[in-house]
Homo-oligomer: A and B are copies of this chain.
Amino acid sequence: MIRMYGFWRSAASFRVRVALNLKGLAFEEEMIDIDAGVQHTPDYLALNPAAAVPSIRIDDGPPLTQSLAILEYLEETHPTPPLLPADARGRSRVRALSLIWAADHHPLITPRIRRYLADEMGQDEAARTAWIRHWFREGLAVGEARLAGDAATGLFCHGDTLTFADLCLVSQAAGARGFKVDFSDLPTVSRIVENCLALDEFARAHPLRQPGAPAQH
């Protein structure tokens, strides 16, 4: 029994949802309304003191947090199909790519950052949106520089098999599109994102397909 606590817009929730789908693991998801501040309620803080989504409970174990740590746990406990390559250098490449998006860029655009920029630095909505767009764009551009012309890149970020890196890239790209960031000039990134989004496991996990998402337009 897998119970996930996520949010429709959350890129980190999207990543974990795709991994669960790819590994064929059934789960129930409770939506934690980040916009309404539900992550700061005592009940949720008891699950995750960092007030972030997703958290996940498997059977009666303690909550697991941090999307990349959850992906590693799923990989270790449900290794088929694998989402990491078989060789150590390949795994390091996949983890490094994943961290470009999940560590270096995604944390920059989360609600706590936007709140600080507004409340402590007096930045208006236009300035905050410019910030968000800048870092989404830079994360995808760094990804392009890493992926393009690298023989290890294939149909997906690492050869022709899905890995953590694709989950992290696509979740970041979906967020970028939500903020109308154009990255059509990044051919490798754009191609991999389309290859992934064509798969049912990604499509079903997409933020805009989750409860609470705005109607698609």
Contact = CB atoms under 8 A, between A and B. Distances in A.
Interface stretch (A95-103, A175-183, A188-196): A95-103
A122 to B, nearest CB: 9
B50 A76 contact: no
B103 A107 contact: yes
Interface string A85-112: 0001101110110111011110110000
A209 interface: no
Nearest to A65: B96
A40 B213 CA distance: 40
A127 B45 CA distance: 29
Contact of A73 (B69, B89, B130): B89
Interface of A: 45, 49-50, 52, 61-62, 64-66, 68-70, 72-73, 76-77, 88-89, 91-93, 95-96, 98-100, 102-105, 107-108, 113, 116-117, 120-121, 123, 127, 130-131, 134, 142, 145-146
27 contacts: A50-B100, A50-B145, A61-B89, A62-B93, A64-B89, A64-B93, A66-B96, A66-B99, A68-B103, A69-B92, A69-B95, A69-B98, A69-B99, A70-B96, A72-B92, A72-B95, A73-B92, A76-B91, A103-B107, A104-B107, A107-B107, A107-B108, A108-B108, A108-B113, A120-B130, A121-B123, A121-B127
